[in-house]
Structure 1
Amino acid sequence: MLKSLSIVAATTLAAAPAFAGSTDQAPVDASVTQAAPVNSFSSPDWTGFYGGLQLGYANVDGSGIGDDDGFIGGLTAGYDYDLGDWVIGAGIDYDFTDTSVGNTSTTLEEVFRLKARGGYKIDRGLLYATAGYANADTNNLGSDDGYFLGGGYEYLVSEQFSVGGELLYHDFDNYNSSGVDVEATTLQVRGTFRF
Structure 2
Amino acid sequence: MVVLGIPQLVEPALLLCRTHPMKKLLLATTALVAFATGAQAADLGVPRSPVAAAVVAPAFSWTGFYIGAHAGYGFGNSRFVGGGVFPTSVNGPLIGGQVGFNYQINQIVLGVEADLAFTAITGRPGNFPTISHRTNMLGSLRARGGFAVDRALLYVTGGLGFQGAATAQTPGPAEKYTRTGWTLGAGVEYALTQNWTAKLEYSYYNFGTRTLGPIYAGTVRSDIHTVKIGVNYLFSTGPSAVVARY
Specify the alignment match of 2:146 in structure 1: 119
Specify the alignment match of 2:244 in structure 1: none
Alignment size in residue pairs:
163
RMSD: 2.1
Gaps of 5+ in 2: 1-51, 80-85, 126-130, 167-174, 213-217, 236-246
1:38 aligns with 2:56: yes
* Distance verdict in 2 for CA 1:176–1:189, change over 3 Å: farther
1:183 aligns with 2:223: yes
**Letter of the 1:150 counterpart:** G
1:77 aligns with 2:99: yes
Q: Distance in 2 between matches of 1:143 and 1:60?
A: 17
Deviation at 1:125, TM superposition (A): 0.6
TM-score, structure 1 normalization: 0.76
Gaps of 5+ in 1: 1-33
* Residues 120-135 of structure 1 aligned to structure 2 (within 5 Å): 120-135=147-162
Specify the alignment match of 1:26 in structure 2: none
Deviations 1:146-177 (A, max 9, x none): 00001000001111100011000000111355
Deviations 1:5-37 (A, max 9, x none): xxxxxxxxxxxxxxxxxxxxxxxxxxxxx7884
Conserved 8 A contact 2:90-2:133: no
Deviation at 1:136, TM superposition (A): 0.2
**Letter of the 2:191 counterpart:** L
Deviation at 1:91, TM superposition (A): 1.1
Deviation at 1:69, TM superposition (A): 1.1
Q: Distance in 2 between matches of 1:44 and 1:67?
A: 43
**Letter of the 1:72 counterpart:** L
* Distance verdict in 2 for CA 1:126–1:74, change over 3 Å: same
TM-score, structure 2 normalization: 0.61
Q: Distance in 2 between matches of 1:151 and 1:176?
A: 31
1:146 aligns with 2:146: no
